[in-house]
């Protein structure tokens, strides 16, 4: 299905309206099970129903709702493709924003609001493409399973992980999936425009450190003070310099950046190449080693009482192939008086940057931006693709956007004044359509 001018205009108008309306439904996930995707799930289902696409709700807990629809392909011999997004967003403090974070306001050529980047933009693209297909009676060759997950922003416990554990039949017969945080453009300081396709992502290892000691009055000397022991442990973990590890994906990424920029690929000094990726360097830099960042502390109940125990939470992220290194190192650093408990453990991912599906992504980008150069990259965070990987489904980050060279796109994830340029969103809808037609 090649878009004519009228269909292109139809798609571009629909994706803008859908994105605005999705943002106006505040599906905020506060963590610890406190979230509500019901209203936005109902909106998604209604928009699919408008064009005759049936969907089904999966409610893992009260108001924690995921939506699934299915488009049967014409070739039953081919495995299905899962196209997944998530419906929840992180909280937004309106006082920090220059606009109402749930307004979906159009200003300065952008749609503003919480979720404009993470990831109601992609949700809108998905809806717009499949609505267009239904209105024009287009049937893809490959079966497509469309999923809008709940709870991605708190680890997918009530969303993708629950779905994979309790309803694996939804994904039966599917071999691959695409989701968020990939396929967007990045202009190098040397001027070349690359599109980073996520083929790898770090794993998660959230740990609780608990220091035990002896309780006593706050006025006495206590050399078994649990708070002191915890503070020492947290400082050692937080200040530890993790060794650099070059994964397969990162080697391809940095060699390609070197080739495009004319700079030397030197694994012992990657800073010149990190400088080339500008505002994305912070994310890419975090993929050169395991990380373990203390994020929460809890101790005591009264100023003059030394507690018997104190605890901290550490956000650990692991590179593919180096999962064991993180836990072993943390246990060594904290010493004998502090225990390490794994709270959430999830796998890192790495797939090949090659094959028919990647070719379809690259061709779709080239069709809309002939000067664009697709390359693979390693994501420092994680997506719902982790849950599907446990079902044997290979995952990629591909939510395409052609972005202005001066936009700090990565900084807008969970950021203040989150926004997506309208022309970037429309580019994404066209590119996603081209990709899915040929996937």
Residue 337 sits in a domain whose CATH number is 3.30.70.360
Tell me if 119 is assigned to some domain: yes
* Across 202-217, average pLDDT: 96
Domain boundary (303, 328, 346) is at: 346
**374 contacts: CB under 8 Å, gap ≥ 6:** 194, 195, 197, 361, 362, 365, 366
Tell me if 308 is assigned to some domain: yes
86 with 222, same domain: the answer is no
Per the CB < 8 A criterion, the answer to whether 22 and 102 are in contact is: no
How many domains in the chain? 2
Tell me if 257 is assigned to some domain: no
173 with 32, same domain: the answer is yes
* Across 369-375, average pLDDT: 98
392 with 303, same domain: the answer is no
* Across 33-43, average pLDDT: 97
12 with 146, same domain: the answer is yes
Mean pLDDT computed over every residue of the chain: 97
94 with 151, same domain: the answer is yes
Selection from 351, 344, 311, 316 nearest residue 330 by Cα: 316
* Across 176-189, average pLDDT: 97
17 with 77, same domain: the answer is yes
For 111-121, what is each residue's pLDDT tens digit?
999 999 999 99
Q: Over 90: is that where the pLDDT of 344 sits?
A: no
Domain boundary (299, 316, 346) is at: 346
Element (H, E) at 413: none
Domain with 10 in it: what CATH number? Answer: 3.40.630.10
Report the SS3 class of residue 344: strand
352 with 342, same domain: the answer is no
Above pLDDT 70, what percent of the chain?
Answer: 100
338 with 420, same domain: the answer is no
Tell me if 399 is assigned to some domain: yes
Per the CB < 8 A criterion, the answer to whether 241 and 253 are in contact is: no
Tell me if 248 is assigned to some domain: no
**425 contacts: CB under 8 Å, gap ≥ 6:** 15, 16, 19, 111, 121, 124, 125, 401
207 with 332, same domain: the answer is yes
* C-alpha distances in Å from residue 321, one per residue of 157, 163, 202, 237, 238: 24, 26, 10, 21, 22
pLDDT of residue 259: 97
Tell me if 245 is assigned to some domain: no
Domain boundary (322, 346, 370) is at: 346
For 313-340, what is each residue's pLDDT tens digit?
999 999 999 999 999 999 999 999 999 9
295 with 183, same domain: the answer is no
123 with 21, same domain: the answer is yes
Tell me if 196 is assigned to some domain: no
423 with 311, same domain: the answer is no
* Across 275-291, average pLDDT: 95
Q: Give this prediction's pTM.
A: 0.93
Tell me if 241 is assigned to some domain: no
DSSP state of 94: G
pLDDT of residue 63: 97
The domain containing residue 333 runs over which residues?
Answer: 203-230+290-346
């Amino acid at each position: 299905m090649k878009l004519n001018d009228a269909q292109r205009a139809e798609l571009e108008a629909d994706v803008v309206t859908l994105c605005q309306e999705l943002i106006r439904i505040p599906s905020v996930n506060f963590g610890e099970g406190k979230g509500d995707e019901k209203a936005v799930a109902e909106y998604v289902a209604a928009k699919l129903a408008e064009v005759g696409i049936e969907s089904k709700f999966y409610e893992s807990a009260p108001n924690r709702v995921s939506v699934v629809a299915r488009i049967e392909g014409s070739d039953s011999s081919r495995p299905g493709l899962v196209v997944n997004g998530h419906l929840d967003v992180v909280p937004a403090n309106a006082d920090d924003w220059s606009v109402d974070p749930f307004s979906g306001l159009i200003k300065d050529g952008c749609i503003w609001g919480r979720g404009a980047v993470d990831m109601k933009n992609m949700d809108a693209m998905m809806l717009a493409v499949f609505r267009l297909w239904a209105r024009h009676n287009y049937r893809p060759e490959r079966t497509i399973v469309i999923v809008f997950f709940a709870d991605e922003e708190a680890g997918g416990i009530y969303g993708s992980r629950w779905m994979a554990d309790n309803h694996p039949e939804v994904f039966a017969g599917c071999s691959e999936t695409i989701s968020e945080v990939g396929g967007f453009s990045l202009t190098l300081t040397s001027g070349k425009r690359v599109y980073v396709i996520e083929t790898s992502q770090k794993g998660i290892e959230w740990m609780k450190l608990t220091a035990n000691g002896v309780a006593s009055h706050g006025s006495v000397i206590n050399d078994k003070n649990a708070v002191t022991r915890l503070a020492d442990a947290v400082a050692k973990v937080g200040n530890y310099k993790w060794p650099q590890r070059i994964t397969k994906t990162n080697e391809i990424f940095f060699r390609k950046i070197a080739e495009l920029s004319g700079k030397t690929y030197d694994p012992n000094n990657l800073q010149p190449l990190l400088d080339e990726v500008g505002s994305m360097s912070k994310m890419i830099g975090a993929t050169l080693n395991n990380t373990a960042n203390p994020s929460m502390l809890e101790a005591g109940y009264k100023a003059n009482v030394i507690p018997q125990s104190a605890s901290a939470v550490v956000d650990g992220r692991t590179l593919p192939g180096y999962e064991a290194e993180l836990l072993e190192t943390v246990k060594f650093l904290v010493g004998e008086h502090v225990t390490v408990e794994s709270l959430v453990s999830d796998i890192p991912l790495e797939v090949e940057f090659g094959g028919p599906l990647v070719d379809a992504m690259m061709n779709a980008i080239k069709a809309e931006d002939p000067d664009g150069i697709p390359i693979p990259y390693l994501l420092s965070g994680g997506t719902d693709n982790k849950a599907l990987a446990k079902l044997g489904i290979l995952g990629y980050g591909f939510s395409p956007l052609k972005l202005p060279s001066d936009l700090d796109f990565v900084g807008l994830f969970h950021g203040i004044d989150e926004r997506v340029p309208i022309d970037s969103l429309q580019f994404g809808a066209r590119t996603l359509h081209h990709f899915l037609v040929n996937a």
